[in-house]
Structure 1
Amino acid sequence: MDILLQAATGAGGGMGTSLLMMVAIIAVFYFFMIRPQQKKQKDVQKAREAMKVGDKVVTAGGIHGRIKEIGETWFLVEVADGVKLKFEKTSVFASSSDVTTP
């Protein structure tokens, strides 16, 4: 009878421990992977909203230019004298303080 009671309490304790370990792994994953990524995305979004006409920018494709016009979801960027390209805001990553163009 004692053996059955010990086996029952041992199995229940193991399940609680594995559940606790799973919760700990998820918490570590959240604080070291997901949360910093969300913070970085929020900072990039804030930087995009702060961009204004005249700022130097770099696109996701590596194109350097200066903002000439801003729309709801796009930037019109002048990449050379008289050459203007329209980019989605999500593809522009750096502004004047982050860019050094010749």
Structure 2
Amino acid sequence: MASSGGGSGFTLLLPLILIVGMIWFMSRSQRKQRQRQADTVASLQPGTKVITTSGLVGIVEETDDEYVTLEISEGVLVQVVKAAVGRVVPDDDAAADEAVEEPADESVVEASAKDPVDVPDAGKDKADGKVQDAPKLPPTHTEN
């Protein structure tokens, strides 16, 4: 049997081109991400608030070639590898966090503690005397 060879070469080549294109695109985005991480680590200075890749929040105390010393609590210093610094927390977020932690007026806190919060169906019994049922899990076996 004779097969037509006009479109078969392109049909076989198209998936290969798509795979190579996807690999190139993914490596390009990873390269950009590594560059952003390197720029972040290079710009670390004492007093900068950072979050590590493991979720540890601290303020940079000092840096050297390989390590960053973070103060995670008053008087508690931790030394981490520079590559573990995930991101820098902007100063405006840090100021907002401090405002939430320390209220300006104690009467505001007392007044808000006295106000009841209306939550629908919270702890109220239904008409049949039962509390709202918890969601049911799917069966782990079939019943015959």
**1:22 corresponds to 2:16:** yes
Specify the alignment match of 1:53 in structure 2.
46
1:48 offset after TM fit, Å? 1.0
Distance 1:56 1:49 in 2: 14
Structure 2 stretches of 5 or more lacking a match? 99-144
Runs of 4+ aligned residues of structure 1 deviating over 4 Å after TM superposition are: none
Q: Whole-Å Cα distance in 2 between the matches of residues 92 and 28 of structure 1?
A: 29
Q: Which has the higher helix share?
A: 1
Select the structure that is richer in strand.
Answer: 1
Matched with 1:91 is: 84
Aligned-residue offset at 1:29: 3.7
Aligned-partner Cα distance in 2 for 1:28–1:90: 27
The DSSP-based 3-state class of the residue aligned with 1:53 is coil
User: Secondary structure in 1 aligned to 2:90?
Assistant: coil
Structure ID, larger Rg: 2
CA distance in 2, matches of 1:91, 1:24: 34
- Which 5+ residue runs of structure 1 have no aligned equivalent? none
The separation in 1 between residues aligned to 2:22 and 2:55, in whole angstroms, is: 34
Normalised by the length of structure 1, the TM-score is 0.76
Match of 1:69 in 2: 62
> Separation in 2 of the partners of 1:14 and 1:51?
56
Question: Using CA pairs below 8 Å that are at least 6 residues apart, which structure has the higher relative contact order?
Answer: 1
